[in-house]
Chain A
């Protein structure tokens, strides 16, 4: 079972908006590797929920943490690096997906050869519990924003962090989650 993510485990002890001196490159590297170990799985799951294939997930995740290295090394705001990481992951995943879609369209125009199928294999989709599989099927069918909120909450982000990552109000986050959970409960009752 994947370890639960603790809400407060990775907030560095700096005040909101506090600017800090640039870290030395070694310090920045150490911080990034620490955060990578703790968050890599969650970020990977999140970018996949945004439509990045497993094949590309490792590259996108690496890009996120390289950006984090630049961020920390330049002494930018470290008040909530977890939310920062997920926000950058969100942006990079969407950019990646758009680029892939463009590339696929271009290829299909220029070259009728089949391209690699990027959908998950049956092995990827294998789940031990039927109930869990049913739940995830409902999750996958949720509206995009509701699904993103749910996935971020599942990764242990707090409401304010989700609001920051997605750039929406706290009320919208709560409504999205409430809607998603209500739909899941209804599906469960059937």
Chain B
């Protein structure tokens, strides 16, 4: 008597690859069928070969990735920062809950950004010496900003060639004026209010300590704005005086306006700089004598 043969579907042939994907009964009947049916056996082999080939093609498709050691360093740094945060939270949790509540209240009041944003012209409140709070924007009475005479060729020629050198006593003067412990200078970028690349001068009236960490709007973010403004000046889209004024005024407002954003485009807390980025920045700072002696070795 003629019996209708039930061939095994492609899906089921694939699920024969691992145990437990089909019910035991269906698996054993499918395997028995494949053993006797040359057509299904060939389909199974073809499917396996196609899967192998396309798998290789997908894995070998070129992908532009950062070199492994760079990506690994970057991840390790990010993990270390996160671990440090966890440790400090664990330390703060038992005894300092009330203080944390107070801190949250203060931060919420000051704009909810985790930082005490002040308008550039506002009088600076009293702060303990060395505190990073309040140093997000320079104090106008200490750092009004100053420029040196430059031409477009100086701005748009080779970067930093002939840039100003900061006199050796100036960094300490600036840190002391802002009440920051000079031994902790490595936590800050002694930043030019108006970047030398846009004609900023190298005297104390154009310098202020800007914290690298713990704040959203940090020195790296300001660097993005500076590079963007320089490009615009060199393209002729913005005149030099306007760019200088934007930096000397409220640079955070300028950043938001220029990049159409309320937040920095890159979250440096989450995606910190790579070791090579840090090296390059340190080299640049050393070249301009912006790092104290202790950091130069």
Contacts and interface: CB of A to CB of B under 8 A. Distances in A.
Interface of A: 1-2, 4-5, 25, 28-29, 32-33, 36-37, 40-42, 44-45, 48-49, 54-55, 57-59, 61-63, 65-66, 69-70, 73, 106-107, 110-111, 124-127, 132, 135-136, 139, 150-151, 153-155, 158-160, 170-171, 174-175, 177-178, 180-182, 184-185, 188
A58 B260 CA distance: 24
Interface in B59-82: 59-66, 68, 71-72, 74-76, 78-80, 82
A70 B252 CA distance: 31
B54 A36 contact: no
The 7 closest A-B pairs by CB, nearest first: A178-B10, A174-B11, A154-B58, A54-B64, A154-B55, A25-B83, A2-B59
Contacts of A132: 57, 60
B interface secondary structure, majority: helix
Nearest to B80: A29
Interface in B1-25: 9-15, 17-18, 21
A180 B9 CA distance: 14
Contacts of B76: 29, 33
Contacts of B68: 37, 40
15 contacts: A28-B83, A36-B71, A45-B59, A45-B63, A58-B74, A62-B71, A66-B78, A66-B79, A139-B58, A154-B58, A154-B59, A155-B58, A181-B50, A184-B50, A185-B50
B46 interface: yes
Of the listed residues B13, B17, B59, the one surrounded by the most CB atoms of chain A closer than 10 A to its CB is B59
Contact of B74 (A32, A45, A62, A124): A62
Nearest to B48: A181
Given A181-B50, A185-B46, A160 B21 contact: yes
Given A62-B78, A70-B82, A41 B65 contact: yes
A139 B59 CA distance: 12
Contact of B86 (A25, A106, A150, A180): A25
Interface of B: 9-15, 17-18, 21, 46-47, 50-51, 53-66, 68, 71-72, 74-76, 78-80, 82-83, 86-87, 260, 270-271
B270 A63 contact: yes
B62 A177 contact: no
B87 A40 contact: no
A151 B74 CA distance: 26
B14 A37 contact: no
Contacts of A124: 62, 64
Nearest to A26: B83
Contacts of B14: 159, 174, 177-178, 181
A136 B15 contact: no
A95 to B, nearest CB: 14
Contacts, number: 143
Contact of A59 (B10, B18, B80, B271): B271
Contact of A44 (B17, B63, B86): B63
Given A25-B86, A174-B15, A66 B75 contact: yes
B243 to A, nearest CB: 18
Nearest to A32: B79
A149 to B, nearest CB: 10
B65 A58 contact: yes
B50 A159 contact: no
A170 B26 CA distance: 15
Contacts of B51: 153, 177, 181
Contacts of B75: 32-33, 36, 62, 65-66
A5 B52 CA distance: 12
A88 to B, nearest CB: 15
B172 to A, nearest CB: 36
A55 to B, nearest CB: 8
Contacts of A153: 51, 55
Given A40-B71, A154-B55, A178-B10, A62 B17 contact: no
A144 to B, nearest CB: 15
A120 to B, nearest CB: 8
Contacts of A181: 10, 14, 47, 50-51, 54
A2 B62 CA distance: 10
A63 B50 CA distance: 33
A117 B180 CA distance: 44
A123 B195 CA distance: 36
